[in-house]
Amino acid sequence: MSFDTTEANRRSGAFADRDELWLFGYGSLIYKAGFDYIRRTPATITGWQRRFWQGSHDHRGTPEAPGRVATLVEAPGAGCMGMAYRITPAVFDHLDHREKNGYLRFSTPMQLADGGVEDGLVYIATADNAAWLGPASIDAIARQVLVSHGPSGANVDYVLKLAESLRELGADDAHVYAIEARLQALAGAD
Ligand code: SIN
């Protein structure tokens, strides 16, 4: 798969026929909307877990020195908490561009915190995309995050803002909190 998934997402047309739909955000989409939405509410999806296994060439790193950002990997029975946004397809251009470094539109049921289960859209970067980095130890992930910077800023800010937002949501996410703790320990060791 090419680095740029914009065209693949546009061609797939997933959800483009709706007047309104739900979008599930689990990474930067939790703490930085940057697009118009009708309303938002915390939500949980099942069968997926957040992992810092996706390379970022365009936001928190560069093609030569990629950062690490969140994607979802399958984990039967696991719950992943995030933020659901009620949107219209008018924001697809923004979303497809923002998530172009390997993320594809998937469909998922989401349990909304304010009630009900809705099918919606989620952007997921899978292992077959060209920017995929895959598993690494918490220490190796934190060390890569610490030195990575891209057009959207420091990779460390992405991780710390995500951890803070997840804590505010009351989300249980051992992977993210472990990377946060390791980053803090490495910064303290300077
Ligand atoms: C998301 O937040 O839902 C996708 C990954 C990201 O943009 O950080």
Domain boundaries, the chain: 6-185
Over the chain, what is the mean pLDDT? 95
Query: Residue 171, Cβ neighbours under 10 Å: how many?
Result: 21
* Ligand 1 centroid – CA 187 distance (Å): 25
pLDDT of residue 16: 85
Ligand 1 and 48: CB distance under 6 A: no
Residues belonging to the chain: 190
Ligand 1 and 28: CB distance under 6 A: yes
CATH assignment of 6-185?
A: 3.10.490.10
Q: Considering 64, 74, 99, 164, which one is annotated as catalytic?
A: 99
Q: Each residue of 37-69: b (16+ CB within 10 Å) or e?
A: eeebebbbbeebbbbbbbbbbbbbbeeeebbbb
168 catalytic per annotation: no
CA angle at 85 for the pair 129 and 12, rounded to the nearest 5°:
40
pLDDT digits (tens, 9 = 90+) for 34-71: 999 999 999 999 999 999 999 999 999 999 999 999 99
Q: Do 21 and 121 form a contact (C-beta atoms < 8 A)?
A: yes
